[in-house]
Amino acid sequence: MMVWIEQLVTSFIASAAFGLIFNVPKRMLLQCGSVGMAGWFMYMSCVQLGIGVVPSTLIAVVVVTVISQLFARMYKTPIIVFNVSGIIPLVPGGIAYDAMRNVVENNYNAALELGFQAFMLSGTIAIGLVLSEVVNQLLRKPAR
């Protein structure tokens, strides 16, 4: 339980901080934080349930984009404001770092494996972004 609270609070602060680094308008900082927190919560729960890292990331990214789209329409703000800070926690920085470290230590096999994993994860983030965008556009077209 403590771990969950800890993770939720830190992911909220980290995402809001990223919003500030990207100069997001002041009244949108809390929303950025909550988008990031929701994505990270989804990712954590999926991993906890034993779903693989790649599908977990996909689900989390879709959640992030859907919430971002809602916020973008609610506050009449470009979606990129919410999107970016929500996705930052899911970027495979740790795995990319491990890959780099293995390259330096001449463990090329391990490095290749980790590098591919990082590549897969960033591809997944891309697919998640596009997927929810396409669904959103399909849903919006008939309404007009």
Q: How far apart are CA 134 and CA 57, in angstroms?
A: 18
Are the CB atoms for 126 and 59 separated by under 8 Å?
no
With CB under 8 A as the contact rule, the residue among 113, 122, 135, 136 that binds another protein is: 122
Q: Is 89 near another protein (CB under 8 A)? A: yes
Q: Give the one residue of 76, 109, 141, 144 binding another protein; rule: CB under 8 A.
A: 76
Round to whole Å and give the CA distance between 30 and 25. 10
Nearer to another protein, 51 or 77 (CB): 77
Does position 112 bind another protein by CB under 8 A? no
Site for another protein in 28-67 (CB under 8 A): 28, 40
Cα torsion angle, 62, 89, 68, 44, sign? positive
Q: Is position 130 an interface residue for another protein (rule: CB under 8 A)? A: yes
